[in-house]
């Protein structure tokens, strides 16, 4: 009897601790952001003001912070605001980053998965090696590489590809290059984990039936690795959507992503409600790709059980 009670208490503790962690560091901060986004600070920069109107005694929720994200103050110009433009740019840059990480990372992951186990460990260590170096140092290193007098321009001048330095830094190219470099391991690792489980006998059977290498890759390898592709795509897309450091250091003045807009509203304009509304909207946008991922994961697991 005592064994079962101890076992029950142990299971309750194991379940309770993660819930406590999520409530303290996810749910409560999220509710605070939601609260601040629904108040009207006026000239006061202190966000914790009552939602109850002192004149009427009723709860007064200020939805204007959300409406102003997608329409102008005069009620016209839907999706023609700087905030909507920042959201659209952020989604575009995050999608491009995830796409090129997939194009570059899939051959890497496939190559690693085909190697013997002792070689795989070495190659995986090389993939994860950048994580041992500070994130800021790696981004600043790209500034030195892409600067007008940086390594890349000097190499092009030495090869006589160009006659004078070209602007590589503070452009779309430099920002996307930095984001692809930083998030590439997040694509390689889930792809590798999925491709290691791939049964290569299916590919051999396709060859025996007369399929070309490309057709076998497209009809066998891609469908069987789809779970890893979606996992890697989401692992890159979601954090890239709210990226702040790389656009600030490598992007130009016109490369305004939503992370920088939230920072400006919070610390430059002292408009905490609108900054919180932007953050809540960004979280809401992230729910859709996460839901798609989990939906596909459930379908994949059900189909594997049937198989």
Domain range list for the chain: 88-306
Task: Quote the CA–CA distance of 125 and 2 in Å, as a whole number.
Answer: 46
The token pair at 38 is 């629904």
| Residues 220, 212 contacting (CB under 8 angstroms) | no
Position 36 confidence tier, pLDDT thresholds 50, 70, 90: confident
| Residues 36, 280 contacting (CB under 8 angstroms) | no
The token pair at 24 is 């303290």
Q: What is the pLDDT of residue 1?
A: 45
DSSP-assigned beta bridge partners for residue 52: 59
Task: Quote the CA–CA distance of 14 and 32 in Å, as a whole number.
Answer: 27
Q: What is the pLDDT of residue 63?
A: 78
Residue 307 has pLDDT above 60, yes or no: no
Q: What is the pLDDT of residue 201?
A: 86
| Residues 225, 191 contacting (CB under 8 angstroms) | yes
Task: Quote the CA–CA distance of 103 and 98 in Å, as a whole number.
Answer: 9
Mean pLDDT of all residues in 194-223: 88
At the fourth CATH level, which superfamily is domain 88-306?
MetI-like (1.10.3720.10)
The pair phi, psi for residue 168, each rounded to 5°, is -105, -30
Among 57-66, 101-110, 139-148, 157-166, the minimum mean pLDDT is found in 57-66
Write the CA distances from 211 to 141, 200, 215, 219, integer angstroms. 45, 14, 6, 9
Mean pLDDT of all residues in 105-117: 91
Q: What is the pLDDT of residue 303?
A: 44
Mean pLDDT for the chain?
83
> pTM for the whole thing?
0.84
Position 90 confidence tier, pLDDT thresholds 50, 70, 90: very high
Mean pLDDT of all residues in 137-148: 92
Residue 177 has pLDDT above 50, yes or no: yes
| Residues 259, 243 contacting (CB under 8 angstroms) | yes
Q: What is the pLDDT of residue 73?
A: 62
Share of the chain above pLDDT 90, in %: 26
Residue with tokens 């409560």: 28
DSSP secondary-structure letter at 149?
T
Task: Quote the CA–CA distance of 30 and 42 in Å, as a whole number.
Answer: 22
The token pair at 196 is 């290691």
Residue 143 has pLDDT above 70, yes or no: yes
Among 39-53, 148-162, 233-247, the minimum mean pLDDT is found in 39-53
Which residues have a Cβ under 8 Å from the Cβ of 148 and sit 6 or more positions away?
A: 165, 167, 168, 169
């Amino acid at each position: 009897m005592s064994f079962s009670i101890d076992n029950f208490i142990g299971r309750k503790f194991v379940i309770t601790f993660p819930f406590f962690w999520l409530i303290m560091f996810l749910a409560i901060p999220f509710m605070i952001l939601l609260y601040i986004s629904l108040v009207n600070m006026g000239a006061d920069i202190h966000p914790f003001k009552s939602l109850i109107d002192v004149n009427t005694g009723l709860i007064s929720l200020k939805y204007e912070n959300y409406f102003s994200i997608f329409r102008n103050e005069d009620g016209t110009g839907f999706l023609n605001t700087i905030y909507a433009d920042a959201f659209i740019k952020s989604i575009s840059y995050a999608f491009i980053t995830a796409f090129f990480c997939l194009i570059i990372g899939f051959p890497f992951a496939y190559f690693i998965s085909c190697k013997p186990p002792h070689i795989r460990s070495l190659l995986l260590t090389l993939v994860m090696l950048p994580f041992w170096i500070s994130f800021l140092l790696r981004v600043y290193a790209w500034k030195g590489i892409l600067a007008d007098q940086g390594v890349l321009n000097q190499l092009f001048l030495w090869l006589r590809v160009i006659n004078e330095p070209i602007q590589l830094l503070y452009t779309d190219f430099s920002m996307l290059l930095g984001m692809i470099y930083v998030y590439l391991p997040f694509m390689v690792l889930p792809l590798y984990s999925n491709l290691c489980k791939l049964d290569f006998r299916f590919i051999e059977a396709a060859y025996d039936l007369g399929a070309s290498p490309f057709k076998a890759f497209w009809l066998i390898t891609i469908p069987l690795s789809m779970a890893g592709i979606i996992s890697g795509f989401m692992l890159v897309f979601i954090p890239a959507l709210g990226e702040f450091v790389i656009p600030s250091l490598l992007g130009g003045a016109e490369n305004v992503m939503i992370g920088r807009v939230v920072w400006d509203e919070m610390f430059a304009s002292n408009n905490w409600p609108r900054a919180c509304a932007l953050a809540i909207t960004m979280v809401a946008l992230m729910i859709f790709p996460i839901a798609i991922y989990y939906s596909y994961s459930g379908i994949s697991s059900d189909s594997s059980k049937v198989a």
